[in-house]
Amino acid sequence: MAQNLEPDPTLIGGVPTPPFAFLPEPVKLFQTRARRFAFLAESNPLAPYLAFLAELSRLQARLAATLRPVSAIAPMRVTEAARSAMPPIDRLRISADPALGVTLDAFVEGAVRFSMPEPARLALDAVRAAEPADRIWLLSNILSDRIPDDSAAPHLFAAAAVQVHLARLAATLDAGALVPVGTGLCPACGGRPATTSVMGTQGIENVRYAACACCATCWNEVRVKCLCCGSTKGISYRSVETTEATVKAETCKECHSWIKIFYTTKNPSLDPVADDVGSLGLDILMKETDFRRGGFNPYLAGY
């Protein structure tokens, strides 16, 4: 009994606050994602596509390791952005950034030797031959989290290059200097999340983080909240499995959107982007409802 009266050292001074944001480690990020795509390809109806995305992620990892280092965002810009609750990475300017152009070139040249279906091959050749204005159009669509319905394939290649460039830029930031910029928006680049995860890692157990679809920064969000409109009312969950689901759709009655929530508490291997593609069955289920998908993932644009 006396033992129970002793103060719990972990509670002295209050429970530690979970970090607001985690920045990506680009090489590790894409290597881990490549392995996950390869694993998912072993037992999934989308196997050829998942194997292609594994190869694409391996190329992203190689580029993240070998391209010239990106110039860090100026500390002054970071401070000014934080003061006005804006993300330090300015997406509007980045579509014409020569360093992003170099990344796109390196990506499409590296992807030439991949095996892929004919429509993807034609799209890759089109991006390689595209005029500067068309390339900027592709990149700025990705940077606006928007993909035209009839142009999924060329945007997939542009998105892969944007992911490499933005993850490298985000990695130059100081996570402690980031501030919330709005519900469901990345504090580093202002983008939309692909998915969200309830974490199983010690120290942030059961805390929810959203993962940016473009720069891969993860940021803390309330556990039960619509990341499209910010409502905490009218939230409910659906899943393909009826019990022990590791992936659910969080739906919002207020704005009629939904976003995936992963339970890494149950499966620590879930990857915010790879498992989003791997759980396409949930998207198919949700397409039969009147909820619209709120997560952004260029790899799912054609589905």
Q: x/- binding map, residues 118-157, to Zn ion, per CB under 5 A? A: ----------------------------------------
Residue 188 near Zn ion by CB under 5 A: yes
Please list, residue by residue across 185-222, b when 16 or more beta carbons sit within 10 angstroms of its beta carbon and e when fewer do: bbbbbbbbbbbbbbbbeeebeebbbbbbbbbbbbbbbe
Q: With CB under 5 A as the contact rule, which of the stretches 24-32, 145-153, 179-187, 196-204 interacts with Zn ion?
A: 179-187
Considering only residues 193 to 222 of the shown chain, the ones binding Zn ion according to CB under 5 A are 212, 215, 217
Q: How far is CA 242 from CA 58, 195, 198, 247, 292, in A?
A: 34, 20, 19, 11, 22
Terminal Cα distance for the chain, rounded: 60
Q: Any contact of residue 32 with Zn ion (CB under 5 A)?
A: no
How many residues bind to Zn ion according to rule CB under 5 A?
Answer: 14
Residue with Cβ nearer Zn ion (191 or 272): 191
Pick from 186, 211, 247, 300: which binds Zn ion (CB under 5 A)?
Answer: 186
DSSP result, 28-70? HHHHHHHHHHHHHHTT-TTHHHHHHHHHHHHHHHHHHHHSPPP
Q: Which among 39-47, 134-142, 228-236, 282-290 is the span making contact with Zn ion, rule CB under 5 A?
A: 228-236
Q: Which is nearer to Zn ion, 52 or 296 (CB)?
A: 296
Minimum CB separation from Zn ion for residue 6, in Å?
44
Number of CB atoms found within 10 A of residue 273's CB: 26
Select from 158, 159, 189, 210 the one that contacts Zn ion (CB under 5 A): 189
Looking at 140, 151, 201, 231, which residue binds Zn ion (CB under 5 A)?
231
Q: Does 228 bind Zn ion (CB under 5 A)?
A: yes
Name residue 51's amino acid.
A
Q: Which of 185, 188, 176 is nearest to 73 (CA)?
A: 188
For Zn ion, which stretch binds (CB under 5 A), given 15-23, 136-144, 189-197, 264-272? 189-197
Provide, rounded to whole angstroms, the least separation between the CB of residue 109 and Zn ion: 26
Q: How many whole angstroms separate alpha carbon 207 and alpha carbon 264?
A: 10
Closest approach of Zn ion to the CB of residue 186, in Å: 3
Phi-psi region of 13 (alpha: psi -120 to 50; beta: other; left: phi over 0): left
Q: Using the rule CB under 5 A, give the single segment among 7-15, 108-116, 144-152, 244-252 that binds Zn ion.
A: 244-252
Which bin fits 14, alpha (ψ -120 to 50), beta or left (φ > 0)? Answer: left
Q: Does 178 help bind Zn ion (rule: CB under 5 A)?
A: no
User: Which residue's entry shows tokens 């990892």?
Assistant: 61
**Which residues bind to Zn ion, rule: CB under 5 A?**
186, 188-189, 191, 212, 215, 217, 226, 228-229, 231, 252, 254-255
